[in-house]
Amino acid sequence: MNANLPPIQKVLFDEATIQKRIKELADEITADYEDILAIIVLKGSMFFATDLLKHITVPVEIDTMHLGSYGMKGMKSEAVRLNNDIVSSIEGRNVLILEDIVDTGKTMKYIHELFALRNPASVKLCSLLSKPSKREIEIDIDYLGFEIPDAFVVGYGFDYKEKYRTLRDIVVMEPE
Ligand code: PRP
């Protein structure tokens, strides 16, 4: 590991645990749908989404959207910014949003409000992680991988200053 980065504290979910849970989620989703328009929320969700979607056996179309934030991450004043919208029309489609984590809920509120204007047949959310201790807005998560405590996690898509996303495990990082 880079000596300039904070140390890793412990493995929260190892690769096998993550992949086992993803297969379970994919089976549940497959049972509930006849077809899916999957929207991958970049960048963090890309690893989770590609692993999940490979296990889904009903027809899937994929689109991506890239969201970020104005202001300091973790601050109350932080607001969601749409960096890149999806290209597809979601009108009449069964949309499944794929997120890596729901923290405050601001990102999901933003997406729900945006999509509500576009007349989809249905919109559901699949999130790998949820951190309920951080929630400011109530969000229904239809398919959830794991609930986590108020810890800073990196790996498997989660970053610290854009580093660590490519780790296969999800690990807890010591705060600076
Ligand atoms: C993270 C994560 C979610 C969002 C959740 O994205 O991927 O999209 O924050 O937080 P919220 O519930 O408080 O809105 P981030 O802005 O870190 O971007 P990234 O996916 O590119 O890492």
Pocket lining: 78 vs ligand 1, CB cutoff 6 Å? no
**Residue 47 falls inside a structural domain:** yes
Q: Are 82 and 114 in contact (CB under 8 A)?
A: yes
**Residue 3 falls inside a structural domain:** no
Pocket test for ligand 1, best of 46, 67, 78 (most atoms within 8 A of CB): 67
**Residue 24 falls inside a structural domain:** yes
Q: Which two tokens stand for residue 135?
A: 């929630």
Pocket lining: 68 vs ligand 1, CB cutoff 6 Å? yes
Q: Are 171 and 152 in contact (CB under 8 A)?
A: no
Task: Please tell me the distance between residue 3's alpha carbon and the centre of ligand 1 in angstroms.
Answer: 26
**Residue 2 falls inside a structural domain:** no
First vs last C-alpha separation in the chain? 16
Bridging pattern class, strands 153-154 and 170-173 = antiparallel
In this predicted model, what pLDDT tens digit does every residue of 40-68 receive, in sequence order? 999 999 999 999 999 999 999 999 999 98
* Structural domains of the chain, count: 1
- Predicted confidence at residue 8, as pLDDT, reads 81
**Residue 131 falls inside a structural domain:** yes
Q: Which CATH number belongs to the domain containing residue 134 in this structure?
A: 3.40.50.2020
**Residue 52 falls inside a structural domain:** yes
Is the pLDDT at 120 greater than 60? The verdict is: yes
Index of the ligand 1 atom closest to the CA of residue 109:
14
How many other C-beta atoms can be found within 10 angstroms of the C-beta atom of residue 147?
12
Structural domain of 75: 8-173
In single-letter form, the type of residue at position 159 comes to D
Catalytic residues: 103
- Three-state SS at 128: strand
- Predicted confidence at residue 162, as pLDDT, reads 92
Distance CA 65, CA 148 (A): 25
Among 59-63, 71-75, 115-119, 150-154, where is mean pLDDT lowest? 71-75
| β-sheet bridge partners, residue 64 | 40
